[in-house]
């Protein structure tokens, strides 16, 4: 898709920091060149009227090949870089919130929207889409898809960066395992829930979907080859969640998932303590916390 002419004109003014978008950083000729060079785009301002030159550059980028429901990868990079939070530091004349609002408003007629990530950066997405994956950072040139489940209802809730969900068989034999996981979450000031901790919907599977949908991390226990856990793991992988497999026996992991590293543990006091220690190390990497 190509972005409309009116939106391109506004984005050009935003990149320049000209009226009526003075809450964006003002960019002189040399800084306009640097803006595009930082994106590995070989454009050097030729001394002509700034906003006219930028608009011509954007028109060229806008005409490049693109996925069906998204602008060209180069245009996506420009828009996302325009809203990078680093551009709005240490300058009382700029306003990141107003900039987000202005870009979102300009792109609305093109069925595009802006999604703000946990680190303050943004992702350009189709208006009817929402980025819920947590296991990796999407780069602008990657394909972005949206889908609508027919079995579940997509919850109105948002991603909870501190939420860890646990998928395991529901019997007393796994209470110690769950306690070992919640012990780590409590120590790291994170939240930890199983589906039996909530009752928000009329069906149990919808509660499970909601929990996985809102989680940053999903711990799955493959012990005993429980079919429900397998199904829930598939949901977590499809939603792009960070999945941590654990098991009492590596033989319980299906061959399709055998290439994923798993934390093996023994269901005794020492084994559960070791599980807590290893899970803590893994979560430190995910949340990039220091000891």
How do residues 48-91 score in pLDDT, each as one tens digit? 999 999 999 999 999 998 876 789 999 999 999 999 999 998 88
Residue 136, domain member (yes or no): no
Residues 213 and 118 in one domain: no
Asked if residue 120 and residue 226 are part of one domain, the reply reads: no
The stretch 123-140 carries a mean pLDDT of: 68
Report if residue 68 sits inside a domain.
yes
- The domain tally of the chain equals 2
- pLDDT tens per residue, range 108-122: 888 888 888 767 788
Q: In this structure, is residue 170 part of a structural domain?
A: yes
DSSP string, 219-288: EEE-GGG-HHHHHHHHHHHHTT-EEEEEES-GGGS-GGGTTS--EE--SSHHHHHHHHHHHHHHHHHHHT
147-197 confidence digits (pLDDT tens) = 778 888 888 888 899 999 999 998 888 999 999 999 999 999 999 999 888
Q: Which domain holds residue 70?
A: 5-126
Cβ-Cβ contacts under 8 Å for 92 (sequence gap 6 or more) = none
Is 208 in the same domain as 261? yes
Beta strands in the chain (DSSP E): 112-116, 122-126, 163-167, 191-193, 217-221, 242-247, 263-264
- Please indicate, yes or no, whether residues 50 and 115 belong to a single structural domain of this protein: yes
> Do residues 72 and 169 share a domain?
no
Is 121 part of a structural domain of the chain?
A: yes
């Amino acid at each position: 898709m190509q972005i409309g002419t009116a939106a391109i004109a506004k984005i050009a003014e935003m990149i320049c920091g000209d009226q009526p978008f003075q809450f964006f950083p003002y960019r002189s000729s040399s800084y306009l060149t640097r803006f595009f060079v930082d994106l590995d785009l070989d454009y050097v301002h030729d001394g002509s009227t700034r906003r006219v030159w930028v608009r011509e550059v954007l028109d060229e980028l806008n005409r490049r090949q693109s996925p069906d429901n998204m602008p060209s990868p180069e245009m996506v990079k420009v828009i996302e870089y325009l809203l990078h939070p680093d551009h709005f530091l240490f300058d009382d004349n700029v306003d990141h919130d107003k900039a987000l609002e202005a870009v979102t408003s300009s792109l609305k007629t093109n069925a595009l929207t802006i999604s703000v990530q946990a680190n303050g950066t943004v992702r350009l997405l189709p208006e009817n889409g929402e980025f819920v994956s947590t296991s990796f950072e999407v780069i602008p040139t990657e394909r972005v898809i949206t889908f609508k489940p027919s079995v579940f209802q997509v919850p109105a809730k948002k991603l909870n960066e501190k939420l860890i969900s646990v998928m395991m068989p529901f019997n007393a034999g796994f209470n110690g395992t769950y306690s070992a996981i919640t012990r780590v979450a409590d120590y790291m000031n994170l939240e930890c829930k199983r589906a039996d901790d909530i009752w928000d919907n009329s069906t149990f599977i919808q509660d499970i979907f909601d929990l996985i949908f809102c989680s940053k991390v999903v711990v799955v226990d493959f012990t005993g080859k429980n079919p429900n856990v397998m199904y829930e793991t598939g949901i977590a992988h499809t939603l792009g969640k960070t999945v941590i497999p654990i098991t009492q026996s590596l033989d319980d992991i299906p061959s399709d998932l055998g290439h994923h590293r798993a934390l093996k543990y023994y269901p005794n006091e020492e084994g559960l303590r070791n599980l807590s220690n290893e899970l803590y190390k893994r979560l430190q990497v995910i949340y990039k916390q220091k000891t």
